[in-house]
Chains A and B, each alone.
Chain A
Amino acid sequence: MRKDLVWLFAGILFFGLLYLLNWGVKAISTDLLVWIGAFLTLAILSFLYQDNAFYKFAEHLFVGVSAAYWMCMGFWNTLVPNLIAKLHPPIVKGVLPAIAEKPPEYWYIIPAALGIMFLMRLSPKAPWISRWALAFIVGTTTGLNLVRYLRSDFLGQIKSTLIPVIVVENGSLSVGGSFSNIVIVVGVLCGLIYFFFSKEHKGLFGVASRVGIYILMITFGASFGYTVMARISLLVGRMRFLLGDWMGLLQ
C-alpha cells in the first residue's frame, strides 16, 4: 500500500508540475465524467507496473457494474420480450405495446420450465434436476453449432482449395498464378496431415507434417502482425482520450 501512495503522490506531483509550467493544462476538461473516465483509465493502466489499490478499485467497479448491467439487459432484452410477453402479452403493454396485442403463445411454458429446472441448482434437495436443463441447452446448441461450423470452416475451406495447379492465362502458362495455387494446395494438404492423429509423424509423413506446421506458423505470424496493428489503434484511442479529451493537449 505504501507503493500505491507513492504512485498517487507522484501522479499529483506530475499534474501539479504540468499546471505550474502552464503547459497546455489550461484546456484541461471540466467535465466530471471525463475526469472519472481518465481516473479509471489510469487506474487500469497502473496494472502495467504492478497490482495496486487503484487497479483493484477499478477492477471491482468494472466487474460489479458490468455484472449488474448484464443482469438488467438479460431481464429486459431476453426474459421480458421472449418469455413474459409470450405467455401473458398484456403485462408488457407499458414497455412493449406492439407485442401486447398479440395472442399468448403457451408453448413458451417449455423454456420457462427449463429455466426453473436450471434454477434448481440452488436447491439443496434436488440440484440434479438442473442437469436436465443443462443437457438440453448444451446438446441443442452444440448440434446447431456443428452445422454452422461445418458450413463455414470445413466446407468453405474445401471450396477455396479447389483451384487448378496449372494456371493458363491468355493461352500461355502463368508461372506466378500456378506457383500461388500450388502453395495454397500444398499448404492445405500438409496442414491436414499435421492434424492427423492416428499415425506418428515420422518419415515422409513427418516431413509433410512439418511443412504443414511451418505454413501454419507463417500464417499465424502474419495474423499476429495484423491483429497487433488493430490493438495499437485501441491504445491510440485511449491516448487520444487522455491527452485530448481530458488534458486538452491535442487539438
Chain B
Amino acid sequence: MIRFKIRLALILISASVLLLFGYISSPGQELEAPPEPLPAPPTNVVISDDPNDDGHTTIVSWQLSRDDGAGLNNVMAYEIFRSTSPEGEFLQVGVMGKGLDSYIDRGEKEKTRNGEPNPRYIGAGIDYYYKMRAKSTTGTYSEFSELVVGQAKNNWYHTGKTNIMIAVLIFSGLVIYFITAAKRGKELYVRPIAGIDAVDESIGRATEMGRPILFVLGTGTAADLATIAGYTILARVAKMTADYQTKVLVPVNEPVMLAVAQETVKSAYMEAGRPDMYDEQNIFYVTAMQFPFVAAVCGLMIREQTATNFYMGIFHAESLILAETGAITGAIQISGTDQLAQLPFFIAATDYTLIGEELYAASGYLSKEALLLGPVKAQDYAKVILLTLLGLAVITWSFGWGFFKSLISTIS
C-alpha cells in the first residue's frame, strides 16, 4: 500500500513537472490580460463667453469624468474639440490635465490665413460646437461627451478695470483743472531743472564762439514720447538761435521726424520774427540705420566744430559714441532721454542730463504754456496720490491688512 502511494505521488509529481516545463517552453502561449476598461467621458459640458474680451474667446467648463480621481482612476487628460457645424470636421483646440474642469479657448482673430479659412478663428455671434473626451493613462479614449453649442460675444466694458477707469478720470480731471487754472492766470510753480537752466547759457556760448549748435532728436521714431518732448526743447533752442543769429544743425534719422523738426524750427524762427534766417538745409535726413547715422553725426561734430550739442529723445547704443565725440570737440553737451540703459552714459559723458520724466517736464517748464504746464502739475498730484496709496498698501499689507494692496493690485 505504501509502495502504491509512493508510486502515485511520483506519477503526480512527474505530471506536474511535465506540465510546468511545457508551459515554460511554449512561448506565445501567455495568458492574455483582460481588456482595460475605458474611462468615462466628462459630463455637463458648458460653453460660455469670456466676460471681458473682444469676442474671440470662449470658456469651456465640464464636470470631471467619474474615473478622474475616483472609480477606475485612470484619466490622464481631457481633449477639447471645436467645429462650426455639428457634422463638420472637429479641430482639437486644447488639452487639459486631469482634475481640471475648464479651458479658455482663445481663438485667433484672423478669419483667413494664406487665403484659406482659418480653423482657429473665433468670431463674435457665431455658433461653435464643442465635444470632449477623456484620455486614459494607457492612451485609450472615452466616448465623446454630448455635443454642446456656444458663442463668443464682444464685451464693451471690462468689469475688472473699473479702478483704472476711476484713476484715469481723476487724472483727466486734474489735467483739465490745472490747464484751466493756468489759462485763468494762476501761476503754476515748476522747480528749476539744471539741464534746462543751462540751455540759455550754452546757446550764448555758441554765439560768442561763432560756432553752430547741434540738436540730435535720437534714433527713435517721430511719435515717441521722448522725441515729442525733444521737439519742444528744439523749438526753444531754435527760437533763441534765431534771436542770436546762430546756426542750428538738426540731423535726423526718420522722414517723419524730418518733417516735424523742419516745421518746429520754421515756426520758432517765425515766432522770433526772423523767417529770413530759416534755412531748411540745416535740418536734414541722414539715414535710418543707427550706426551710419552715428558715423555721420560724429563727423559733423568734428568738421563743424559745434559749440553746443543737444541730445533729446530716444537713444540706443549710440549714446556714448555721440557724447564722447562731443566731449572731444569741447562742446557743452545737454542730454535727455527716458531710456534707462542709456542714461548712465549720458550722465557720465555730458554736462547736463534730463533724466526720464525731467525731459517731459522740461517742455512745460520751458514753454510756460498752460497746455503743457497743466499735465506736469497733474502728474505731480497723481504722484502724491500714488505715493500715499503705495505707502499705505506696503505698510498695511506687512501687518496683514490687504485692503490697499488689493485696491492697487486691480489698477496694476
Chain A residues with a Cβ under 8 A of chain B: 44, 47, 50-51, 55-56, 58-59, 62-63, 65-67, 69-70, 98, 101-102, 118, 121, 130-131, 134, 137-138, 140-142, 145-146, 149, 155-156, 158-159, 161-166, 185, 188-189, 192-193, 195-201, 216-217, 220-221, 223-224, 227, 231
- Please indicate the chain A residues that have their CB under 8 angstroms from the CB of B299 in the complex: 47, 51, 55-56, 59
A162 touches B223 (CB 8 A): no
Contacts of B293 in A (CB 8 A): 63, 66
Q: Is B108 an interface residue (CB 8 A)?
A: no
**What CA separation (Å) do A145 and B227 show in the bound complex?**
12
B393 CB contacts on chain A under 8 angstroms: 162
**Cβ–Cβ < 8 Å partners of A197 in chain B:** 190-191, 193, 361, 365, 376, 380
CB-CB contacts below 8 Å: B345-397 with A: 345, 347-348, 355-358, 361, 365, 376-377, 380-381, 383-384, 386-387, 390-391, 393-395, 397
Nearest-Cβ distance from residue B44 to partner chain A, whole angstroms:
37
Q: How far is the CB of A66 from chain B (nearest CB, A)?
A: 4
Contacts of B302 in A (CB 8 A): 50-51
Contact present for A62 and B291 (CB under 8 Å): yes
Contact B398 A58 (CB under 8 A): no
Q: Given A141-B221, A141-B222, A220-B347, output 19 extra A-B contacts at Cβ < 8 Å.
A: A62-B295, A66-B293, A67-B288, A69-B289, A102-B115, A130-B259, A145-B225, A158-B390, A159-B409, A164-B394, A165-B395, A166-B399, A192-B386, A196-B380, A197-B361, A197-B380, A198-B377, A227-B341, A231-B320
A151 to chain B, nearest CB (A): 9
Query: Given the complex of chains A and B, what is the CA–CA distance between A217 and B398 in angstroms?
Result: 28
A198 and B296 within 8 A (CB): no
**In the complex, chain B residues whose CB is within 8 Å of the CB of A137:** 222-223, 256
**Closest chain A residue to B346, Cβ basis:** A220
Instruction: Summarize A's interface: helix, strand, loop or mixed.
Output: helix
Bitwise interface map of B from 238 to 280 toward A, beta carbon under 8 Å scored 1, else 0: 0000000000000000001001100100000000000000000
Q: Which secondary structure dominates where chain B touches chain A? A: helix
Q: List chain A residues, Cβ under 8 A from B394.
A: 161-165, 185
Q: State the interface size on chain B (CB cutoff 8 A).
A: 66
A201 with B292: CB separation less than 8 A: no
Closest A-B pairs by Cβ, 8 of them: A141-B223, A224-B344, A66-B289, A220-B344, A66-B292, A67-B287, A62-B292, A166-B398
Contact B263 A131 (CB under 8 A): yes
Q: For the complex, is B237 an interface residue (Cβ under 8 Å from A)?
A: no
In the complex, how many angstroms separate the beta carbon of A169 from the nearest chain B beta carbon?
Answer: 14
Q: Are A63 and B286 in touch, CB under 8 angstroms?
A: yes
**B411 on the A face (CB < 8 A):** yes
Q: Whole-angstrom distance between the alpha carbons of A203 and B341 in the complex? A: 31
CB-CB under 8 A from A162, the residues of chain B are 390, 393-394, 397, 405, 408-409, 412
Q: Which residues of the partner chain A approach B292 to less than 8 Å between Cβ atoms?
A: 59, 62-63, 65-67
Q: How far is the CA of A223 from the CA of B225 in the complex (A)?
A: 23
**Selected A-B contacts with CB under 8 Å, 16 pairs:** A63-B292, A65-B292, A66-B293, A67-B288, A102-B115, A134-B259, A137-B256, A138-B260, A145-B224, A162-B394, A162-B408, A164-B397, A195-B358, A200-B191, A224-B348, A231-B317
Query: Is B343 part of the contact surface with A, judged by Cβ < 8 Å?
Result: yes
B390 and A188 contact, CB distance less than 8 A: yes
Q: B303 within 8 Å of A by Cβ?
A: yes
Q: How far is the CA of A168 from the CA of B236 in the complex (A)?
A: 54
Asked if B228 is at the interface of the complex by the 8 Å CB criterion, the answer is: yes
CA gap between A155 and B317 in the complex, in Å: 26
Judge whether B281 is part of the interface by a CB distance below 8 angstroms.
Answer: no
| A67 to B357 CA separation, bound complex (whole angstroms) | 33
B368, chain A: closest CB distance, angstroms: 13
Contact yes or no, A221 B344, CB < 8 A: yes
Q: Known contacts A63-B296, A197-B380; decide if A216 and B355 are in contact (CB<8 Å).
A: yes
Q: Please name the residue on chain A nearest to B340 by beta carbon.
A: A223
B383 touches A155 (CB 8 A): no
Other-chain contact of A66, B260, B288, B357, B386 (Cβ < 8 Å): B288
Of the candidates A70, A131, A231, the one whose C-beta lies within 8 Å of that of B288 is A70
Q: Choose among B222, B383, B399 the residue that contacts A192 (Cβ–Cβ < 8 A).
A: B383
Nearest chain A CB to B394 CB, angstrom units: 5
Most buried by B among A44, A102, A141, A198: A198
> Which chain A positions have C-beta within 8 A of B381?
198
Residue of A nearest to B114 (CB): A98
User: What is the minimal beta-carbon distance from B402 to any residue of chain A, in angstroms?
Assistant: 10
> In whole angstroms, what is the CA distance A197 to B190 when docked?
5
B4 at the interface (CB under 8 A from A): no
List residues of chain B with CB within 8 A of the CB of A98: 114-115
Q: Residue B303 contacts which of A51, A66, A220 (CB distance < 8 angstroms)? A: A51
Residues of chain B within 8 A of A70, CB atoms compared = 287-289
Q: Are A63 and B287 in contact (CB under 8 A)?
A: yes
**Chain A residues within 8 Å of B317, by CB:** 231
Report A28 CB to chain B, min CB distance, Å. Answer: 27
